[in-house]
Amino acid sequence: MASLSLPTVESIREQFPILQHPDSHGRDVVYLDNGASTQKPQCVIDKEVEVYTKYYANAYRGVYEFGQRIDDELELSRESVRDLIGAESKEEIIFTAGTTMSLNLLAYAWGSHVLEPGDEIILSRMEHHANIVPWQLIAQKTGATIRYVPLDDQYRFDEQAFEQILNSRTKIVSLTGMSNVLGATIPVSQVAEAAHSVGAVFILDAAQSVLHQPADVMKQGVDFLAFSGHKIYGPSGVGVLYGKQELLEQMPPFLGGGHMIDQVFDDHSTWAAAPAKFEAGTLPIAQAIALRPAIEFIKEIDFDWIEKHEKKLLIRATEQLQEIPGLKIYGPDVSEKGAIVSFTLEGAHPQDLAFLLNRHGVCVRHGHHCAMPLHEILGVSATVRASFGLYNTVEEVDKLTEAIHQARKKLRLA
Amino acid sequence: MASLSLPTVESIREQFPILQHPDSHGRDVVYLDNGASTQKPQCVIDKEVEVYTKYYANAYRGVYEFGQRIDDELELSRESVRDLIGAESKEEIIFTAGTTMSLNLLAYAWGSHVLEPGDEIILSRMEHHANIVPWQLIAQKTGATIRYVPLDDQYRFDEQAFEQILNSRTKIVSLTGMSNVLGATIPVSQVAEAAHSVGAVFILDAAQSVLHQPADVMKQGVDFLAFSGHKIYGPSGVGVLYGKQELLEQMPPFLGGGHMIDQVFDDHSTWAAAPAKFEAGTLPIAQAIALRPAIEFIKEIDFDWIEKHEKKLLIRATEQLQEIPGLKIYGPDVSEKGAIVSFTLEGAHPQDLAFLLNRHGVCVRHGHHCAMPLHEILGVSATVRASFGLYNTVEEVDKLTEAIHQARKKLRLA
Amino acid sequence: MIDRLREEPVTLSSLEEIIDEFDFLDDSEAQIEYLIDLGLDLPAIDQSLKTEQFLVHGCQSNVWLDVEFVGNPALMLVKAESDAMIVNGLVALLMAIFNGKTAEQAVEINVREIFDRLGLDRHLSPQRKNGLNGMVQRIKVAARQQLT
Amino acid sequence: MIDRLREEPVTLSSLEEIIDEFDFLDDSEAQIEYLIDLGLDLPAIDQSLKTEQFLVHGCQSNVWLDVEFVGNPALMLVKAESDAMIVNGLVALLMAIFNGKTAEQAVEINVREIFDRLGLDRHLSPQRKNGLNGMVQRIKVAARQQLT
Ligand SMILES: Cc1ncc(COP(=O)(O)O)c(C=O)c1O
Ligand SMILES: Cc1ncc(COP(=O)(O)O)c(C=O)c1O
């Protein structure tokens, strides 16, 4: 899969048109909000344009040439997702609007299918709201209870505590593969095995992790997996839900509409087979098709290279930031986390800091990052987050550090 | 709103790159599947590219320049939708994945909010599955009953029958503004008034109608309205749900996740105000933004022009097709319908016919068009549908007719 | 009626002819048009077979299908008809594959391989594939029943 | 502490000065940076005011706000502080608008108009607008209470 010669970050950056020009204030853009969404390489942009200008039609409906081409392209994209996550067949790949939609689908459809009063759903303390709120809604409806796996004192997923919480009432274990705040990861195979040992299904929220540690669902025993196109250099508006064939067969549909039915009668309907059963209505056609070049782009660069490159940035950022007086980083040691640094700076409100960093072109995010229960235990209501992508450079890390120094001066902290 | 000089169909066609080249078999493409999805003008394609290449970021999250720009663009797009459908404020405009998602949201959220056993939901016989199946699912959950407004002998919405079906148990009236098979419309204001008179909310599935008779929700008394971007020359992957402010306030959220919350506690959460409350997770960012040029494009051409132009095509097609032996058109008189012609040809299976028409470059759809209950009363399991858009020409109508003649010969019917 | 059907294998295209034509056309649309031609040449089946019992489910269009074994040794005779000519073309193809085969031979035939060889698989919609699978299944079941 | 606050109106920027500066800057980011500057110059409030009672809800960051009327005729004195300097800048702006006004005057003031004039409205996130509205509401309520 890997290209023969190793890529350079310069050659990668060239492929992102948005990185080729300063912002409207003439500043070089240092985009460090990759955890929220990533920029798009030319090949992804081109693919959406190709669809719209060469053979656009609705999907799975027309026998005419454009319709057939769209169907073929969608199936190729499904296949590239299958390959990315190591699923058995492309019929296990469902296109959705995003991770949030995928997780809601699971909560509503699988949740109502299996949960009874007193049953338990296990999440962790570091989940994104997308992997909390849908479960709360379904727990309220079904009488199930949510239990949270704590973090240890180094902000790591506490595997021992997890195994103690697991019990025969556990029906669902749904965990993030990587915290979008801490960068902390989980031991996927072990967690899956433990979940299965009590008869629970294991759901992986791979929104942050799929790009860094591509899952291997069959080997790792992942039952369901969700991720978003826009976080892996793909288009906005499309996401993926993977489900094991036999589970997809058991799971009732969630959204009703065109394409997901077999027959519609006055008072009830019968369902098509997966993936159609879970793809009600018109798909995000151009977006689902343009997910493939994003996946191919990443594979071409090679996951090892990405991992090494991002780790280098993470280490440099961590070393520099730790030197700044009053700056506190939240998360495990760099050796045990993804390329995310969340921090607070004493005397500086995260909102002010994020604004002031942007005065130097540095784009970082501030707030609770859709992880309020985590911030509850961090003991702060908001943090500033720098998250790195494959196009970020060592110089950009230095600019982040320099911008923080400048902000401290501005805020009269230095 | 209208441009000073009237547009010509040639000048309009020029703006659609996909119409500028033959298909891969060298055939001129006669795209008559606009009811399924429309092609995209250059301005829409350009806007998505602009977002990805100039200022892409996640929405409503970053204080940095790109983030602010994305927020501004989204709000501009919201405003253009508000203006299109005559809503009171842009906070009543919710971006969704499409009509199907919008209607499911209403069925799940509003449906479970108001429906009690014995309550009634009124649909019509000509609904799309997207406006049937979600209501079936929610009726099964709540014990409510679905009642169907019949069509009269000319395939028109039977207003009198509707008023007889309405009663104090009617809680929801959800109707398509235009049948995607028959082209039949409904008297929106009267229906809304009648629905309100028994205390029901009125939902308009405007997927087919918004482009032809733009709604005026405040004047017409529409409580909720749904449509898809991809059917009004906009991008795939984005749709709209309109809801009256006070109804949006009452309605519980549907999807859970980021952005829709106010606060998240361990076992429950509190909600943000609309539209955020119903926009869980990352929006289809580039797509929602590129919906605006689509709306502006249509407004610039002018709805009157579109209506007249499409009517001309419809009349010509109807006149020509009626002459073909064994061809039967389903739907009201041309004076009472939109630019859709669905038909069967004796001795020719719709699937064969659609295939053979494409041999002459003509793209039409065959099948049940996601309207099985309608086909039940039409007495056929499938029809062939030609649906016209603003870029179609009189010559293309002639090509359709000619292609049907050729197909009849091929099928040894002539 | 049966008499007319007995003559079919000679009047219908053989598998070799079909494969040759597919290779010659080398364009999926032209291939499907050829299927329609094959379908148009397919003789009608007896009206009495057009009942629920012989209807194959999982088809986008209606297909009625029956399998008989005639002669000694008993050779397979597929009788089928659809209201769609594309599907009748597939029927003609199945007839070319199965007619005149013994039950033992029929059970062994790998239809998927033949479809792969033709390159047809890629060009059939999932629904049409379902319908095709339904037909093949009926034929295989009949062959197995004949063996027991 | 009250004593120090009484002197504020003189040391803080006046509304005219703020408007002039906004017009001069004419770039939303520079304007917000100027808000931060204003916020940095805002005197601290008494620790005793930093309780739930004085906390304004609907703010992304914490703001504590109290309103007093001093002197005869009684003139408004806004005392507020946030942990975010951008918000403190908004506080400074509200002080420039309301401090030294009578309750009657305060009730009549159209804050929205002033924000429109500054062009600020467009550049505040929905959450920050919520917070701002929360502060204005507190001030208006205090003015109305003073009148009854
Ligand atoms: C009347 C009607 N309603 C709903 C829909 C569903 O729209 P979408 O597939 O974009 O969700 C359609 C599209 O075919 C339609 O024609
Ligand atoms: C861990 C995690 N889960 C889920 C999500 C939600 O993804 P989306 O907003 O694309 O639906 C995110 C994105 O922020 C995330 O980081």
- Give the domain CATH number at D141: 3.90.1010.10
User: How many domains, in total, are found in chain D?
Assistant: 1
Residue B2 domain flag: no
Structure tokens at B398: 């002639």
Gap from CA of A364 to ligand 2 centroid (Å): 16
Ligand 2 atom with minimal separation from the A130 CA: 4
Identity at B30, one-letter amino acid code: V
For residue B61, what pLDDT is reported?
A: 76
For residue D8, what pLDDT is reported?
A: 45
For residue B2, what pLDDT is reported?
A: 45
Q: How far is B250 from chain A (nearest CA, A)?
A: 17
Residue B190 domain flag: yes
Task: Tell me: do B306 and B291 sit in the same domain.
Answer: no
CA distance A22 to A65: 42
Has residue A148 got a pLDDT over 80?
yes
pLDDT tens digits, residue range A46-80? 999 999 999 999 998 778 899 989 999 999 999 99
Which of the 8 DSSP states describes residue D55? B
Residue B1 domain flag: no
Neighbors of chain A by Cβ distance (3+ pairs < 8 Å): B, C, D
Q: A55 touching C, CB under 8 A?
A: no
Ligand 1 atom with minimal separation from the B100 CA: 11
Q: Which of A211, A206, A186 is nearest to A307 (CA)?
A: A211
Reported pTM: 0.94
For residue A4, what pLDDT is reported?
A: 58
Distance of CA A301 to the CA centre of its chain: 19
Mean pLDDT score, A231-260: 97
| Catalytic choice (B165, B247, B280, B370) | B370
Task: Tell me: do B17 and B109 sit in the same domain.
Answer: no
Residue B98 domain flag: yes
For residue D4, what pLDDT is reported?
A: 32
Task: Tell me: do A86 and A228 sit in the same domain.
Answer: yes
**Cβ pairs B/D, distance under 8 A:** 9
Has residue D27 got a pLDDT over 60?
yes
For residue C127, what pLDDT is reported?
A: 67
Mean pLDDT score, B35-57: 98
Structure tokens at A270: 């019968």
For residue C9, what pLDDT is reported?
A: 43
Last residue of a domain, one of B278, B299, B320: B299
For residue B212, what pLDDT is reported?
A: 81
Q: Please, are residues B82 and B90 in contact by the beta-carbon 8 Å criterion?
A: yes
Task: Tell me: do B266 and B312 sit in the same domain.
Answer: no
Mean pLDDT score, B69-88: 96
B window 55-74, beta carbon within 8 A of A? 55-58, 61-67, 69
**Among protein residues, the one whose CA lies closest to atom 16 of ligand 2:** A180
Has residue D124 got a pLDDT over 80?
no
Has residue B215 got a pLDDT over 50?
yes
* Domain at B375, CATH number: 3.90.1150.10
Has residue C2 got a pLDDT over 50?
no
CA distance C32 to A300: 37
Has residue D1 got a pLDDT over 50?
no
For residue A90, what pLDDT is reported?
A: 96
Q: Which of A276, A286, A274, A400 is nearest to A343 (CA)?
A: A400
Last residue of a domain, one of A299, A331, A351: A299
Last residue of a domain, one of B275, B299, B323: B299
Do A349 and D36 count as a contact with CB atoms less than 8 A apart?
no
Please say whether the dihedral angle defined by the alpha carbons of residues B375, B379, B380 and B384, taken in this order, is positive or negative.
negative
Mean pLDDT score, A240-266: 95
Give me chain A's average pLDDT, please: 96
Residues with CB under 6 A from ligand 1: A 258, 281-282; B 98-100, 128, 130-131, 176, 180, 205, 207-208, 228, 370
Task: Characterize the bridge pairing of strands B145-149 and B120-124.
Answer: parallel
Task: Tell me: do A314 and A190 sit in the same domain.
Answer: no
Task: Tell me: do B274 and B330 sit in the same domain.
Answer: no
Distance of CA B156 to the CA centre of its chain: 19
For residue D129, what pLDDT is reported?
A: 73
Q: C125 touching A, CB under 8 A?
A: yes
Residue A2 domain flag: no
pLDDT tens digits, residue range B219-251? 999 999 999 999 999 999 999 999 999 999 999
Task: Tell me: do A96 and A195 sit in the same domain.
Answer: yes
Output b/e per residue, B243-255; b: 16+ Cβ within 10 A.
Answer: bbeebbeebebbb
Structure tokens at A367: 């707030």
For residue D2, what pLDDT is reported?
A: 30
CA distance A70 to A200: 38
Q: How far is D95 from chain B (nearest CA, A)?
A: 25
Ligand 2 atom with minimal separation from the A239 CA: 10
Task: Tell me: do B256 and B107 sit in the same domain.
Answer: yes
Mean pLDDT score, D102-131: 83
Task: Characterize the bridge pairing of strands B93-96 and B170-176.
Answer: unpaired
Residue B403 domain flag: yes
User: How many domains, in total, are found in chain A?
Assistant: 2
A45 → closest Cβ in B53, B99, B267: B53
Residue A1 domain flag: no
Task: Tell me: do A127 and A264 sit in the same domain.
Answer: yes
Report CA-CA distances (Å) from A398 to A7, A313, A348, A402, B217.
22, 10, 20, 6, 54
Contacts of B33 in chain A (CB under 8 A): 57-58, 61-62, 64, 67
* Domain at B241, CATH number: 3.40.640.10
Gap from CA of D34 to ligand 1 centroid (Å): 50
Task: Tell me: do A59 and A151 sit in the same domain.
Answer: yes
3-class SS of residue B328? strand
What percent of chain B is predicted at pLDDT more than 70? Answer: 99
State the pLDDT confidence band at C1, using cuts at 50, 70 and 90: very low
For residue A30, what pLDDT is reported?
A: 98
Task: Tell me: do B290 and B312 sit in the same domain.
Answer: no
Has residue C117 got a pLDDT over 80?
yes
- Residue C14 belongs to domain spanning: 3-147
- Residue B320 belongs to domain spanning: 9-37+302-410
Give me chain D's average pLDDT, please: 85
Burial category of C47 from C-beta neighbours within 10 Å (exposed 0-12, middle 13-18, buried 19 and up) = exposed
pLDDT tens digits, residue range B243-257? 999 999 999 999 999
Q: Which of A228, A340, A374 to mutate to test the pocket of ligand 2 (most atoms within 8 A of CB)?
A: A228
Task: Tell me: do B199 and B311 sit in the same domain.
Answer: no
Mean pLDDT score, A125-137: 98
